[in-house]
Structures are given as C-alpha cells and as structure tokens.
Chain A
Amino acid sequence: MAKHLLKLVWNRRRTNILIVIEIFFSFLVLFVAVTLGAYYAHNYRQPLGFSYENVWDISVGSSLQTDIEPTSAEQKTARVNITKRLLAAMRDFPEIEASAGLDSPVFAIGSSSGSLHYKGRRAETTFNQVTHGFKDVMGLQLVRGRWFEDADDALNWDPVVINQQLAQELFGSEDPLGKNIGDPKDKRESRVVGVITDFRENGELFEPENYAFTRRKLTGVSDDLSPHIAIKVRPGTPAEFEEKLVNTLSAVGKDFSYEIKPLVETRESLLRVCMAPLIAAGLVAAFLMIMVGLGLIGVVWQNVTQRTTEIGLRRALGGTAGSIYTQVLGELVVVTSIGLVIGTALVVQLPILGIATFLSNEVYLTGLGMSLALIYLLTLLCGLYPSMMATKIQPAEALHYE
C-alpha cells in the first residue's frame, strides 16, 4: 500500500516537488511560531516568587550620575542620606505597610549582572542591591537560612541571598548557607545567608534566571543612594494618596523628581510591549498558513479533476468511495511526510549544533510535535473536499471524459 502510494507520488514528481517545497517552508514557519508560543506559555506558568498587588514603585530620578565623573566622599554621604530620609518619611504614613530601597525595579527591562564563584565553579547572575525591608514589601519566600537584618551592619563580610536556581547551579546538593561566593581575588568575603524560592523581576514572560540580592547598608562608605523605592500600601488605598506622597517626598529631597507607579500598571505595560511583536508574528504566521491551506485545496482539486479517467476506471473496476478517499488523502500524506522529513531534519540541527539553547527539551519537543501535527491536520483538511469531489465521479461519465 505504502509502496504503491510512493510510486504514484513518484510518477507525478514534477507537480509534487512544488508541494513538498511548500510544506517544507510552512513547517519551518509554523515551527518557529509554535515553539516561541510554547516557550512563552511555559515561562508564564512558572511561579513569580513575589507578589505585586498593592506594591508601588517610586523612581527617584536624579540627574544621572555616571562613573565617568569622580565623586567625592561628601557627595556620596549626601546621596546615601537622601535614601535614608526618604525611607524614614515613609514610616510616618499609616497607609504604607512596608518600604525598601532597591537598585532595579521589577517589570522593567535592564538590570545589572555579574558572576559568583564557588570552588572553581562560576555562575552568571542578576544582582539587585536592596535594603532590609524588601522581603516584606515583595512577599519573598525563604526556603532556608534568613533574610538581611539590622545586625548585618557590624559584619566584616557581605551577606547575600540567592534564589533556588542559583543555589542549585552553584552548590548542587551541598548546603549553600555560610559559603563564600565572592570573587576569590576580593579580600572581603560574600557569604550566602539565605535562599528564596525565586524572584523573576522581568515578569512572567521571561525565563526564570539566577538571582542574587546584596544588602544596601546606607552607611555612606562605598555606598550610594537607592534609585528606586518599593512600598507596600494597605489594600484599598486611594489613588489620591499618590499626590500626597509625591508632595512629601519632594519636600524631603528637593533636587530629585519622583514618579510613582503601581506595579500592576508597570506589569501591564510591559506585557503589552512584549506581546505586541508576538501577536504580529502570530498573525503573519496564521496568514501564511491560511494561504498555504487554500493553495493546497486548489492544487489537490486540480489533480483530482485531471485524473478523472483514472479514478473513474477504479470505480468501474469495483473500487469503493472509501478506497478513493484513501488514495487521494494517502498520496497527500506521503507528499506532506516527505516535506516534513526534510523540515524535521533541518530543525533537529538546532539541539545538535547547540543553537537556541534557551529552549528546554520540553518546549522544543512540544513545538516540534505540535507543528508536525498541525501541518498534517492542515493538509488533511485541505484534502477532504477535493477527495470528496473525487468520490462523486461517475464511472460512466469518467470513462467518456476526454
């Protein structure tokens, strides 16, 4: 049966090669679209590791200080004092449950990264320097160890809190608590004091990544201000509170400008920005698939009308409608499979050559399987109507046909 179908396909290779090419390209387009979709869906399902409801971000805008200009010790102390005074002012509001300073806010692309070391192993991670109240503002969940505390000021080493993924990469099954993970060249040690579940600061669409918190001491020596302050407000705090808060902040630190945004809003605008190109790409892929589908209907239909005599002869010799269906669809499946085999052969090069390593096996296989299934579904759907037309051919009429 399969051999016979192959022979039929081979006999009409000139026509079929074009269909094979078309299936091949459609598969590639669909693979890219479906895999990206699966990638984002997979990311979206992972827990964020923090809660953003009723959390507001206050960005403390100074005229951008860069490390191109030298900074004096007095300037630094003055800048650190700003953060201290702002945080102190927050404590006076009954509407604010918790507040903390941080370097890079959540739901905003762009943060600082670096590497951590342990026993010759090295792990790249995102860093954020936060003050002590940050755990309560974001509702971080500790898995082991502890969070930063006021007594840490007196330590002669730097406490670090890392997420589970980083702990796994750096320590494997070892206990990370108390281990030095700083650069071996540095005199001052950085020791792990706690492990949190996760902190996916870029939001749901982005891949979970390594994360490490360091502590902002606010003592003025080799320290700077926190460019962002996160606050947790009481549920039901009215939006008018924002204006009151900005006025207070402006009175405390006059040289700065303040922008307050609920994280719910920044999350939504980030999602919108990230989704727009995805939706555009999805629409283009959908359009290409519809076009390919319509084209296939046309081509198969034309094939069927052209082979009226052949099909009529089969009917006259006792072929059933079912066997005609099987033949037309079977040929289509064979042609599709050839295109898909070439396509798959190309796509499996991705893991073999180590390209696109950001795709986990699960996502990659989902994408591959779904796009294969979708192409078969598409071709079968497109073959249904023409093959129905083929079964309607009357043997007497067909044998007459010239």
Chain B
Amino acid sequence: MLKSYLKIAFKVLLRRKFYTFISLFGISLTLVVLMVAVALFDHTFGAQPPETKADRTLGVFLVKFTHPDRGMTRAFGGYAFLDRYVRTLPNVEKVSLHSFPTTAVSYKNGARMTSWLKRTDGEFWQILDFDFLEGGPFTSEDEKNHNFVAVINQTTRKRFFGDEPAVGKFIEVDGQRFRVAGVVPDVPILRIVPFADIWVPISTSKTDAYRKQFAGPFMAMILARSPADLDMIRAEYRSMLTRVEFPDPRLYNKAEGNAETLLETVARMLFLTFERGESPVKRLMAWLVFLVVLFMLLPTVNLVNINVSRIRERSSEIGVRKAFGASSLTLVGQFVVENVLLTLVGGLIGFVLSFAVLHLIGSSGLIPYAQFQLNYRIFFVGLGITLFFGLFSGVYPAWKMSRLHPAVALRGRG
C-alpha cells in the first residue's frame, strides 16, 4: 500500500517539474534558516568539548548587589566574593575561578597582535577536558607561586611561532613574559566559559587589587560529584548569599543570583527575572518555539497554496478512486504521505545546503574559531521540523480534496 503511494507520489513530482521545484525550494531554504539558527544555538549552549562534564557543572556568572537606598548593580563576581563564599560551598567536588577574557596586546616586528586573555586557576583544567596538542596545563601550585606560565591555543602558537612547537618558549603579552606550558586546540568564541586565546594564572595579574574585590571580572565554575547533586548546590548557593558579609554595608548590603547554566543566565537577562530561583529556560524555549512557528507560517501557507492548486490537476484520479470505493480517510492518508515524501526530499536538500552555509559562516571568520558541526542533535531537530512542516502543510489540501464529489471529480473540474 505504502509502496504504491510512494510510487504515485514520485510520478506526480516528476510530472510538473516547476511546481516540484517551487515546493522544494521553499522547504529546503526554510530548513536551512532554521538549521543554521539551531546550529548557532547548539554551538553556544550545547554540551561540547571541552565542556564534557556539562551535566554536572554549574556556573556563577552575574551577581546582583543591591542596597535599598542606592539601587543596584549587576556585575560579574569579584575574586574576594567568589573565593570566600563560592570556593567554600559544601558538597561540591571542585570549584574554579576564571576571569572574563580581556584583550591583551603583543607586538611582533612592530605589528600589533590582539589576543583574548583569561586568568584562571589549576582547577579550570581539571573540570574542563582540554585535548592538549603539546605540553600540559598549569597547576594550582603555579597559581599559588605566581609562576608566569601560559596555555595558548593553536592559532596563537601559529601567530607567535609559526608551525614550530611552542612548549618551553616565551611569549610577551601586555608587557608580561610567560613561559608556554601547553597548547590546546582553538575554542570557539561563543563558548563563553572555556574561550580564550591565552590562559594564565590569576596571580600573575599586574596588581593584587583583585584580591579584595567583591564585584569584578570573575566567573566561577562548580563541578558537582553527580548530576543529582545540582539541585542541592543551587539551594546552598542561594542560602549562602543571605550570609554574605559586605566590606562596606553602606554601599551595598544584599547579593542575589543563582548558580546555574549559561543558558539560564542568558534567559534571565532577557526576561529580567533575576531574583527568582526557578529556571527561566522553559519560558525562553516557549518563545523560541513561537518564533519558529511564526517564521514557518509563510512557507507553510505558500506550500498549502501550491498543493491546493495542484489538486485540481488530479481530480479525475480522485474521482476514479472514490467511485471505486476509497474512503475520504484513505485519500487523506495517501496525500499526506505524498506531502511528507516531498518535504523529506526538500529536507534532504536542506541538510546539504545547511552544511554548506554553516561551512561558509565558519570559514568567513565572522565568528572567530567557529566550527559548526551538524551533530545528531541538530539532525533530529531538523528532521522533526521537516516532518512537522510536511504534516502541517499537507493536511488541509488533502482534506479539501477528499471531499470532492466523485461525479464532479470524474469530469475533471474542481
């Protein structure tokens, strides 16, 4: 049964090539737009190396400091705050502090080279799984002893040393000299937590003013012993915030925020629900789904329009089938199958095109170090969208057609 449906569908597709082209064009490019959007989203928020322990990692990104008279400030945490209160959280396996990357300048033969510099500790390399190309990470000892050592990424190695091995050599960044301890592959800039060109110990900062700061350039990464502990850690973080002692309570006397994932922080920023504990991700997802449906509305109406037009061509076929006893339901089934087949073909073309477009964005250098891959997550999302599209746009024309009266249909008039 299905086989003959598919056969008919194929014949129909080949009969009127212009219509088939219009349908496929719409389906495949709609899919390209959605797939690129999903790939960008996944690229930023999905669990990808080096963040292989994402299922049991939380972050502390923004903290809101308030005072009833002075208003509020939303900032990254300072070293003093994170060191005193987050590093001491109970029931966690490891905590790492790392700064938001800043640009740092080096000169080579008079030409300026700008790199993103992140200051961090030894735990950073234990929580994240970097795949070292040569050498290794710096350790907590290096951090404690103010050792001027650095881990650099592949591109930085190339810029400083060409294709030579770099471990043991020195780089000068921002007027400071670091010995290269290890080289890692490039991390995309959208991976806010691990991203940098050069990673150096926090203690190599030019002054030690950071040690007293409550608000500053730092984020924290908290590794739990198991994913089941995450809820407990979130709760502990929130109760810890109520016990914070401020250096000058006349300036600010209350801290609010959450230990959470990057996606949760971004969603919270969008909806401005900073004080609440519950996760804003569901709301964000609902909005995203709404936007996707809105975007797909026009291609769907277009496809429905074309399908409705094409039905008339086949009214004699429908008449014959009806006259021989086919029920409306059978006919709806047949035409939905046909439409799904059409969208799947369009989906296939869409996949190939998305791959090309993502490759183009990646190689354009618009987003530094972006390596988009069509992984299985994106594949399933794309497949889901395609099927949804096929069903959505196929049901109305099929229903309309199945209601044709056999006598009218046989005469070939719609």
- Assembled-state Cα–Cα distance A272/B365 (Å): 11
Interface of A is mostly: helix
Nearest B residue to A66, CB-CB = B215
Cβ-closest 8 pairs across A and B: A240-B110, A302-B309, A295-B302, A66-B215, A243-B107, A257-B174, A294-B22, A70-B248
CA gap between A291 and B393 in the complex, in Å:
15
B104 at the binding interface (Cβ < 8 Å): yes
B6 on the A face (CB < 8 A): no
Q: From known contacts A18-B308, A64-B216, A66-B213, infer whether A255 and B73 are also in contact, taking CB-CB under 8 Å.
A: no
> Is the CB of A299 closer than 8 A to any CB of chain B?
yes
In residues 359-381 of chain A, which contact B (Cβ within 8 Å)?
none
Query: Which of A21-29, A116-124, A152-160, A181-189 lies on the face that meets chain B?
Result: A21-29
CB contact list, A258-302 vs B, under 8 A: 258-260, 272, 276, 284, 287-288, 290-292, 294-295, 297-299, 302
Question: Is A250 in the interface zone, CB < 8 Å from B?
Answer: yes
Provided the pairs A239-B112, A259-B103 are in contact, do residues A18 and B209 lie with their beta carbons within 8 angstroms? Answer: no
Instruction: Answer yes or no: A97 CB below 8 A from chain B CBs.
Output: no
Chain B minimum-CB-distance residue to A15? B308
Tell me how many residues of A have a C-beta within 8 Å of chain B.
49
User: Are A69 and B73 touching (Cβ within 8 A)?
Assistant: no
Identify which of residues 40-68 in chain B touch chain A, using a CB-to-CB cut-off of 8 Å.
65
- Whether, in the assembled complex, B33 has its beta carbon less than 8 Å from a beta carbon of chain A, the answer is yes
Q: Are B107 and A291 in contact (CB under 8 A)?
A: no
A-chain residues with CB within 8 Å of residue B217 when the two chains form the complex: 63-64
Interface contact A69-B212, CB-CB below 8 Å: yes
Could you list 18 examples of A-B contacts with CB < 8 Å?
A63-B206, A67-B73, A69-B212, A242-B107, A243-B112, A254-B206, A255-B206, A255-B207, A287-B33, A291-B30, A291-B298, A295-B22, A295-B303, A295-B306, A298-B22, A299-B305, A302-B310, A306-B312
Known: A69-B248, A257-B206. 15 other contacts (CB 8 A): A18-B304, A22-B301, A62-B207, A66-B213, A67-B251, A68-B251, A70-B247, A242-B112, A243-B110, A288-B299, A291-B298, A292-B298, A297-B22, A298-B18, A302-B312
Residue of B nearest to A290 (CB): B25
Q: Which residues from B are CB-within-8-Å of A298?
A: 18-19, 22, 305-306, 309
In the bound complex, do residue B366 and residue A276 qualify as a contact, i.e. CB atoms below 8 Å apart?
Answer: yes
Contact B247 A25 (CB under 8 A): no
B394 to chain A, nearest CB (A): 14
Q: Which residues of B contact A68 (CB under 8 A)?
A: 65, 73, 75, 78, 213-215, 246-248, 251-252
Chain B residues with CB under 8 Å of A288's CB are 298-299
B273 interface residue per 8 A CB criterion: no
For B414, what are the chain A residues with a Cβ–Cβ distance below 8 Å? 306
Task: Find chain B residues with CB under 8 A from A63 CB.
Answer: 205-207, 209-210, 213, 216-217
Question: Is A61 an interface position by the 8 A CB rule?
Answer: yes
Query: What are the residues of chain B within 8 A of A276 when measuring CB–CB?
Result: 366
A21, A66, A402: the one contacting B214 at CB < 8 Å is A66
Tell me how far the C-beta of B157 lies from the nearest C-beta in chain A, rounded to whole angstroms: 22
Q: A239 and B205 in contact (CB under 8 A), knowing A66-B216, A68-B73, A68-B252?
A: no
Give B173's nearest chain A residue, CB to CB.
A257
- Does B114 belong to the interface (CB within 8 Å)? yes
A10 at the interface (CB under 8 A from B): no
